[in-house]
C-alpha cells in the first residue's frame, strides 16, 4: 500500500441557512481546498462527493458528476458517497484506498449538505430514515430520542451528573466561539444556561443537541511521492478503521457500548502504530453531548464511565490531556450530515499544520477523527500525523 | 386476526436458538436461515425512555411523543411508543404490555404496530 497524504483543505462556514445552492457551497469548499493544495491548474483522477440526503433535501442526485462538471474537472471519475452522517469520513477512506492501491494519484473529496431547505420536522424525519425501518423508524424514533434514551441509561449506571453533561456543551461552545467557520460561533454557554435550556427529548435539552446545518468541507488527497510536487504542508493519513454494529440499537448486548467505535478505533491505532495516549487532538461525533462522553471512552481515551468526569475536570479542553472537538464539534461548529466527516478532518489538518488560530492545540502531532452513521452502527476513524 | 389477539413475534433461530427481533434474513449469531415464530411475551418492563418534544413529520399526536425501550422476560428488547397518560408513571422498571395501534403516517399512509401501555393502569 502506498502512503497517502492530505495536501489541501477548505470549508464554508456552517450556518442555517447558508446562502447559495448545494453546488455553490460544494464548489466554494472544493476551490478553497484545490487552491490550498496549489493544484489550481491540475487535473484530478477522481472526485468523491459525500452527501447523506441531497435527494431528500435539495432534489438532486448524481451530485458528484455535477460537481466535476461545475469545477471543470471532466473527465475525472466521479462518485457520490452515501453512508448516513458518516459519508464524509467514508469518502476520505475511499479516496485513500484509491490512491493507496495505485489506481489514483490526485483525488478531491467534498462533503456537503443543505438541510435548511425543509422545515425542522421534515429534516427530523429525513434524518430518522437511517434508523431500523420496522424496529425504530415507524415508531417515530428520532436521533435525539435515541440519544436521550442512552443518556438516561448511562446516568443510571455510571452516575453521570447534569453538570458533567453540561460541561461538554460549555467546552464545545467555548471552542466554537474561537472558530470563524462554526455555526454557533456567536453563542457561548454556561452550565446553568445549558441546564435551563428548552427540553428537546428528555433528559436532553437544546444545548445538548447539535443544530441543523448547511455547510461544505473539502480535502485534496495525493500519493506521498506525488505530494513533493505540491505544498510542503502535507499531513499523512496514518491510520483508518471502520466497523458496523446492529442496525437497531436495542439489539446490542449493551446499548451503552459503541462496539463499532471500539473496533474502528482499534484498527486505526494498529495501522498507525499509535496508542490512545499518543493522540493530542480529536474530533468526535458529538451529535448529542452524551456521545462525546461515550465515544471518548470507547475510543480508548478514558476508562468506561469516566468520560463525563474527564470533561468536567477540563481534561478534554484545548489545554487538557487530549483536546476534544477544538472546532466546537457537531454541537457548535454544526452538523451538515455529509459535510461533517470532511469538516472534522479539515479541522485536524489545520491543527497539525499549526494554523488553527485562537483554538490551536499547542504542538499537536497526532490527531484522531471519529465520524459515525446511524446511532453508532457504522463508525469511521481517521488518524492523521504530522511527519515534519 | 382480531387486533386484541395480535402478538409481538420474535424469530427463534432453529440452529442456535437465538431469538432475532426484528426479523432478519440470516441469524445474527450463526447465519442460520430457518426461524420459528415465538411470542415475545404478554408483559415487559421499561428499560429506558424519553419524551420527544420535536417529533418527526408524520407523527399525528400532540408532543411530547413518549418512546421507550422495553425488555421481555426472555431477554429480548423492543422499542416503541408508550401509551401512558401521566409522565409520573414513566419509571425505569415499570411493567408494560404491548397493544396494537396506529403509530404515524409515512408517505401519507397510516402505519400500525405495537405500542406499550401500563400493565396495571394507575388511578387518576
Task: Decide if pLDDT at B123 tops 80.
Answer: no
Task: Decide if pLDDT at B4 tops 80.
Answer: no
Q: B71 and B45 in contact (C-beta within 8 Å)? A: yes
Residues 6+ apart with CB under 8 A from A59: none
Residues of chain B positioned with their CB less than 8 A from the CB of A145 = 50, 52, 65, 67
pLDDT, one tens digit per residue, over A25-70 is 999 999 999 999 999 999 999 999 999 999 999 999 999 999 999 9
CB contact under 8 A, A135 and B28: no
Q: What was the pLDDT predicted at B120?
A: 86
Q: Which grid cell sits at A128?
A: 430518522
Whether the CB of A199 is below 8 Å from some CB of chain B: the reply is yes
Distance, in Å, from the CA atom of A378 to the CA atom of A243, rounded to the nearest integer, reads: 6
Q: Which residue of B has its CA nearest to A201?
A: B52
Task: Decide if pLDDT at B122 tops 70.
Answer: no
CB contact under 8 A, A128 and B21: no
Indicate if ipTM > 0.90: yes
Q: What was the pLDDT predicted at A369?
A: 99
Residues of chain B positioned with their CB less than 8 A from the CB of A204 = 50
Whether the CB of B23 is below 8 Å from some CB of chain A: the reply is yes
Look-up: residue for cell 453531548?
A289
pLDDT, one tens digit per residue, over B28-80 is 999 999 999 999 999 999 999 999 999 999 999 999 999 999 999 999 999 99
Whether the CB of A119 is below 8 Å from some CB of chain B: the reply is yes
Å between A253 CA and nearest CA of chain B: 10
Å between B40 CA and nearest CA of chain A: 14
How would residue B5 be classed by pLDDT, with cut points 50, 70 and 90? confident
Residues of chain B positioned with their CB less than 8 A from the CB of A255 = 48, 69
Which residues of chain A have a pLDDT value below 70? none
Q: A359 and A318 in contact (C-beta within 8 Å)? A: yes
| B contact residues 55-94, partner A, Cβ 8 Å cutoff | 55-59, 64-65, 67-69, 77-81, 92
pLDDT, one tens digit per residue, over A342-364 is 999 999 999 999 999 999 999 99
Q: Which is it for the CA torsion A375, A49, A53, A57, positive or negative? A: positive
Percent of chain B clearing pLDDT 90 (strictly above): 86
Q: A314 and A273 in contact (C-beta within 8 Å)? A: no
Distance, in Å, from the CA atom of A251 to the CA atom of B19, rounded to the nearest integer, reads: 10
Look-up: residue for cell 422495553?
B70
Q: What was the pLDDT predicted at B3?
A: 65
Residue of B5, B6, B40, B4 whose CA lies nearest to B22:
B40
How would residue B121 be classed by pLDDT, with cut points 50, 70 and 90? confident
Q: What was the pLDDT predicted at B25?
A: 97
Q: A126 and A65 in contact (C-beta within 8 Å)? A: no
**H/E element, A238:** strand A235-244
Distance, in Å, from the CA atom of A340 to the CA atom of A350, rounded to the nearest integer, reads: 15
CB contact under 8 A, B67 and A140: yes
Maximum Cα–Cα distance across chain A: 58
**What is each CA distance from A333 to A10, A63, A209, B9, B90, in whole angstroms?**
14, 24, 12, 43, 35
Whether the CB of A132 is below 8 Å from some CB of chain B: the reply is yes
Which of B21, B67, B77 minimises the CB distance to A139? B67
Q: What was the pLDDT predicted at A232?
A: 78
**What is each CA distance from A306 to A154, A292, A309, A318, in whole angstroms?**
11, 12, 5, 19
Amino acid at each position: 500500500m502506498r502512503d497517502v497524504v492530505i495536501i489541501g483543505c477548505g470549508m464554508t462556514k456552517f450556518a442555517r441557512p447558508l446562502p447559495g445552492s448545494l453546488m455553490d457551497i460544494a464548489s466554494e469548499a472544493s476551490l478553497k481546498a484545490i487552491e490550498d493544495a496549489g493544484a489550481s491548474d491540475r487535473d484530478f483522477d477522481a472526485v468523491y462527493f459525500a452527501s447523506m440526503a441531497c435527494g431528500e433535501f435539495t432534489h438532486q442526485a448524481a451530485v458528484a458528476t455535477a460537481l466535476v462538471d461545475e469545477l471543470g474537472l471532466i473527465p475525472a471519475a466521479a462518485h457520490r458517497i452515501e453512508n448516513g452522517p458518516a459519508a464524509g469520513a467514508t469518502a476520505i477512506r475511499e479516496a485513500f484506498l484509491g490512491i493507496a492501491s495505485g489506481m489514483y494519484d490526485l483525488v478531491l473529496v467534498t462533503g456537503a449538505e443543505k438541510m435548511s431547505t425543509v422545515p425542522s420536522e421534515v429534516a427530523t424525519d429525513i434524518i430518522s430514515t437511517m434508523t431500523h425501518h420496522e424496529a425504530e423508524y415507524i415508531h417515530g424514533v428520532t436521533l435525539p430520542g435515541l440519544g436521550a434514551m442512552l443518556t438516561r441509561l448511562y446516568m443510571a449506571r455510571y452516575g453521570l451528573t447534569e453538570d458533567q453533561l453540561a460541561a461538554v456543551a460549555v467546552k464545545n461552545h467555548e471552542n466554537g466561539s474561537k472558530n470563524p467557520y462554526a455555526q454557533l460561533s456567536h453563542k457561548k454557554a454556561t452550565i446553568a444556561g445549558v441546564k435551563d435550556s428548552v427540553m428537546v427529548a428528555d433528559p436532553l435539552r437544546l444545548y445538548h443537541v447539535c443544530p441543523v446545518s448547511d455547510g461544505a468541507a473539502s480535502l485534496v488527497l495525493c500519493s506521498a511521492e506525488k505530494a513533493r510536487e505540491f505544498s510542503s504542508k502535507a499531513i499523512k493519513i496514518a491510520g483508518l478503521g471502520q466497523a458496523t454494529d446492529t442496525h437497531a440499537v436495542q439489539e446490542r448486548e449493551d446499548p451503552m457500548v459503541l462496539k463499532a467505535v471500539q473496533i474502528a478505533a482499534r484498527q486505526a491505532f494498529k495501522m498507525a502504530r499509535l496508542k490512545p495516549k499518543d493522540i493530542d487532538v480529536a474530533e468526535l461525533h458529538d451529535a448529542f453531548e452524551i456521545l462525546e462522553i461515550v465515544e471518548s471512552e470507547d475510543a480508548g481515551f478514558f476508562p468506561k464511565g469516566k468520560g463525563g468526569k474527564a470533561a468536567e475536570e477540563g481534561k478534554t479542553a484545548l489545554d487538557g490531556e487530549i483536546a476534544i472537538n477544538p472546532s466546537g464539534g457537531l454541537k457548535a461548529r454544526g452538523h451538515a450530515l455529509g459535510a461533517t466527516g470532511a469538516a472534522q478532518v479539515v479541522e485536524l489538518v489545520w491543527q497539525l499544520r499549526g494554523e488553527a488560530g485562537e483554538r490551536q492545540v499547542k504542538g499537536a502531532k497526532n490527531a484522531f477523527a471519529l465520524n459515525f452513521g446511524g446511532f453508532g452502527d457504522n463508525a469511521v476513524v481517521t488518524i492523521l500525523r504530522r511527519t515534519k | 386476526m382480531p387486533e386484541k389477539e395480535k402478538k409481538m413475534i420474535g424469530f427463534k433461530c432453529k440452529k442456535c436458538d437465538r431469538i432475532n427481533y426484528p426479523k432478519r434474513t440470516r441469524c445474527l449469531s450463526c447465519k442460520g436461515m430457518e426461524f420459528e415464530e415465538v411470542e415475545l411475551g404478554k408483559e415487559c418492563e421499561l428499560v429506558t425512555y424519553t419524551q420527544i418534544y420535536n417529533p418527526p413529520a408524520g407523527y399525528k399526536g400532540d408532543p411530547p411523543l413518549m418512546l421507550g425501550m422495553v425488555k421481555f422476560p426472555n431477554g429480548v428488547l423492543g422499542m416503541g411508543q408508550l401509551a401512558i397518560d401521566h409522565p409520573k408513571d414513566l419509571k425505569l422498571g415499570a411493567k408494560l404490555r404491548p397493544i396494537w395501534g396506529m403509530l404515524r403516517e409515512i408517505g401519507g399512509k397510516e402505519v400500525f404496530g405495537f405500542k406499550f401501555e401500563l400493565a396495571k393502569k394507575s388511578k387518576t
